[in-house]
Every structure is written in structure tokens, then in C-alpha cells.
């Protein structure tokens, strides 16, 4: 009876260790692609930005010259998306909606902007990828600020 009990305990210990090993392996397998996906998403966003955004906002996210001074049309030039601009002051939800719906639709009250909505051209995933790319270029201080303003209130 004593040997039988010892065998049951050993079996239970072995089964427990095997379960932990499987769970650890599963966790590692699930975590590794997440990091790779982040790099892939940022790269996808870089490409979409180059194709759809850089012509106005600049290849280096620098925006148009004198972006705070209205053009003769009364509209503002395209702002930079680097740390020198104001993009990082806005929450994710607002940035997403500006890209999807256009600035005028978000600001409202007859505001006019040359920034169109891209709902017909970009998927939600592509918009999120562009935002991931832009945010990946910001220094830590700007990223932290933007993460904080993006938290649900």
C-alpha cells in the first residue's frame, strides 16, 4: 500500500510538471508571435504611410512648412506627425477617426480641411498600423503622454 501511494504521488508530480511544461511552452509560443506581429504591423504602417500619407505629411513625418499658418484658402497645411507636431496630444480614438472620417467630419461646425477621410481606401487594420508606425517614431515622453490621454476615462 505504501509503494502504491508513493507511485501515485510520483505520477501526480510528474503529471503536474508535464502540465507546467506544456503551459509554459504554449505561453512562449503565443508571446513570440505577438512581438513579431508588432514589428510587422509597424512595417505595414510605414508602407501605408509612405503610400497614402507622406505626400502631404512628409516622408519623415515632418509635415508641410509653416503648418500652423493658414494657407490662402484659409485651411491649415498638413501638420507633422513627428514629436514636433501635435499628433501625440490626441487620443487614439480621435486619431483613428480623423484618418477614417477626415478632419472636418471630426471637428464639425463647418470646419474645412484638406485632410480627407480614408474610410474608402484603408481598412481599420491599416489605419491602426499607420498609427502604430507614427507612434513608434516618437520619443518616450511623447509616447507616454499619448498613451495616458488614450486611457478610458
Question: In a 3-state reduction of DSSP, which class is residue 63?
Answer: coil
Q: What's the predicted TM-score (pTM) here?
A: 0.75
The ranges assigned to domains in the chain are 37-149
Q: What is the C-alpha separation between 8 and 46, in angstroms, rounded? A: 57
Q: What is the pLDDT of residue 7?
A: 46
Model pLDDT, residue 23: 38
pLDDT at site 1: 57
Low-confidence ranges of the chain (pLDDT < 50): 5-36
Classify domain 37-149 at the CATH superfamily level.
Answer: Cytochrome c-like domain (1.10.760.10)
Instruction: Check residue 151 and give its pLDDT.
Output: 92
On whether the CB atoms of residues 114 and 92 are closer than 8 A, the answer is no
Residue 41's alpha-carbon distances to 16, 28, 33, 46, 136, in angstroms, are: 37, 20, 12, 9, 11
Amino acid at each position: 500500500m505504501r509503494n502504491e501511494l508513493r507511485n501515485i504521488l510520483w505520477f501526480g508530480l510528474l503529471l503536474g510538471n508535464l502540465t507546467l511544461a506544456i503551459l509554459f511552452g504554449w505561453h512562449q509560443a503565443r508571446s513570440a508571435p505577438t512581438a513579431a506581429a508588432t514589428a510587422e504591423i509597424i512595417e505595414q504602417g510605414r508602407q501605408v504611410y509612405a503610400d497614402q500619407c507622406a505626400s502631404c505629411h512628409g516622408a519623415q513625418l515632418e509635415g508641410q512648412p509653416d503648418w500652423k499658418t493658414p494657407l490662402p484658402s484659409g485651411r491649415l497645411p498638413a501638420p507633422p506627425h513627428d514629436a514636433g507636431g501635435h499628433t501625440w496630444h490626441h487620443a487614439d480614438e480621435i486619431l483613428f477617426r480623423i484618418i477614417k472620417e477626415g478632419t472636418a467630419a471630426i471637428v464639425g461646425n463647418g470646419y474645412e480641411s484638406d485632410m480627407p477621410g480614408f474610410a474608402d481606401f484603408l481598412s481599420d487594420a491599416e489605419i491602426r498600423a499607420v498609427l502604430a508606425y507614427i507612434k513608434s517614431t516618437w520619443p518616450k515622453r511623447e509616447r507616454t503622454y499619448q498613451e495616458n490621454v488614450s486611457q478610458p476615462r
